[in-house]
A and B are shown apart, each in its own frame.
Chain A
Amino acid sequence: MFPASQLTSFGIGIGVALAILVLVRKNHLMVTHAVWWLAVAAASMAFGAYPRLIDWIGGVLGIHYPPTLLIVIGMGLILIKMLTMDLKRTEQERKIRALTQRLAILESEMYPRPDQDAAENATSLP
């Protein structure tokens, strides 16, 4: 039987995993993005099920108070995740700008006459 602290970590892991799966199921989250969060959930469950694991890793890395290792790792992973999100957003912004520019040129060729308004005829974005 797990003690309460272990159950909390294990439960958080299961909750995160279920939430991610539901989000993917409803098409609110891409599968590639889900991989990261499922890994976080798995790690949370692993540390909940095997609390000696963090003590062992802390000992290997020479950290005398192993619970701080969890916080350091957690913050580091959050920073990495945020940076990669901004990298992804930058790439998406580049593509959106290029698409918008190309679309404007295409529309000007589709509706070349002065009495035609490309903006009015264009399909609105969902």
Chain B
Amino acid sequence: MKNKLAVLIPALNEEKNIREVIQGVRKVITGEIVVIDDASSDSTARAAREEGAKVLPLLLPLGAWGATRTGIRYANQHQFEIAVTIDADGQHQPESIAALIAPILSNQADVVIGSCTERGSIPRKLSWLFFRKITGLGVRDLTSGFRAYNAAAISQLMTSDTALLDYQDIGILLALSKAGFRILEVPVMMCPRSSGHSRVFSSWWDVFRYLVITLILCLSKAGMPAASEYRSEIG
């Protein structure tokens, strides 16, 4: 018997936000809520457990994608039909989950990205444009962690292609694109963080490191076949 929906929330030191995020998700869906605690030094795991979420406690910090992939592994093992990834910082609005999973339920897409191109600074938008050009990916919001994957995509994400990636962004999309998955981008609203800072862009050094790593990744994957289908509902 397959499970229907898992909402995966990778979290690092988010004890201030995690309760609200779990409560928000629970209001709008009936699936399993899985919090992947990326070796937080605060009480994120305890707070998530007290809210009734399934907690996967990582012994070592694996980073944003490593934590997400732990949830994907859990979804794959327990044969969930759909996995939605949502940030623990409260930026993603749980009300948009329905819009993410609808195209998968109607078999219009295998992967759906909740896209909010209004957010972000000019340098971030320029980096999106640059990486879009050199990868050939049509996706506008390359760094959105608000995504939904169907069972086939979940299974694909457990292959070695994605084992050593650091971020849930271009590398993941390139791997799915190479495998011919249908990627759809739908517009969603995102809120500014209520507390804490971004895991990926917490300092200028992190931004530089991200850009260099992503550039090398894009160059190494150059020439790979594009997605069999990419569509966008963004105007």
Chain A interface (Cβ < 8 Å from any Cβ of B): 90, 93-94, 96-98, 100-105, 107-108, 114-115, 117-119, 122, 125
Pairwise interchain contact B57-A118, C-beta atoms closer than 8 A = yes
Pairwise interchain contact B50-A114, C-beta atoms closer than 8 A = yes
What is the CA–CA distance of A103 and B164 in the complex, to the nearest angstrom?
Answer: 17
Known contacts A94-B160, A94-B163, A108 near B55 by CB under 8 Å: yes
Can you show 19 pairs from A to B with CB atoms below 8 A apart? A93-B164, A94-B163, A97-B62, A97-B66, A100-B62, A101-B66, A104-B36, A104-B57, A105-B56, A105-B77, A107-B56, A107-B57, A108-B74, A114-B49, A117-B49, A118-B57, A119-B45, A119-B57, A119-B59
B60 at the interface (CB under 8 A from A): yes
Q: How many residues of B contact A (CB 8 A)?
A: 24
A-side interface mostly: helix
Question: Which of A97, A105, A117 is close to B74, meaning CB atoms less than 8 Å apart?
Answer: A105
What is the CA–CA distance of A125 and B55 in the complex, to the nearest angstrom?
Answer: 20
B54 at the interface (CB under 8 A from A): yes
With both chains docked as a complex, state the minimum distance between the C-beta of A102 and any C-beta of chain B, in angstroms.
7
Chain A residues contacting B160 (CB-CB under 8 Å) are 94
What is the CA–CA distance of A105 and B56 in the complex, to the nearest angstrom?
Answer: 6
Question: Which of B36, B52, B164 is close to A90, meaning CB atoms less than 8 Å apart?
Answer: B164
